[in-house]
Amino acid sequence: MTSTVIYEGELRTVALHNASGTTIETDAPVDNQGKGERFSPSDLVATALGSCMLTIMGQRARDLDIPLKGTSIDIQKTMKTDPRRIAGLSLTFHLPAGLHLSEKHKIILQRAAETCPVKYSIHPDIDVQINFNWHTAVEDFSTY
Q: What is the mean pLDDT of residues 75-97?
A: 95
How many Cβ atoms sit within 10 Å of the Cβ of residue 104? 9
In this predicted structure, what is the pLDDT of residue 135? 72
Contact 23, 17 (CB under 8 A): yes
pLDDT at residue 144 is higher than 50 = no
- Name 88's Cβ contacts closer than 8 Å, sequence gap at least 6: 77, 78, 126, 127, 128, 129
In this predicted structure, what is the pLDDT of residue 37? 96
Strands 85-94 and 127-133: parallel
- Name 67's Cβ contacts closer than 8 Å, sequence gap at least 6: 61, 96, 99
The 10s digit of each residue's pLDDT in 36-73 is: 999 999 999 999 999 999 999 999 999 999 999 999 99
In this predicted structure, what is the pLDDT of residue 136? 52
pLDDT at residue 142 is higher than 80 = no
What sign has the CA pseudo-torsion 42, 128, 57, 93?
negative
The 10s digit of each residue's pLDDT in 87-124 is: 999 999 999 888 989 999 999 999 999 999 999 999 99
In this predicted structure, what is the pLDDT of residue 140? 46
Q: What is the DSSP letter of 32?
A: G
Q: What is the mean pLDDT of residues 130-140?
A: 71
pLDDT at residue 15 is higher than 60 = yes
What sign has the CA pseudo-torsion 74, 88, 50, 129?
negative
| Three-state DSSP state, 81 | coil
pTM here? 0.89
In this predicted structure, what is the pLDDT of residue 98? 87
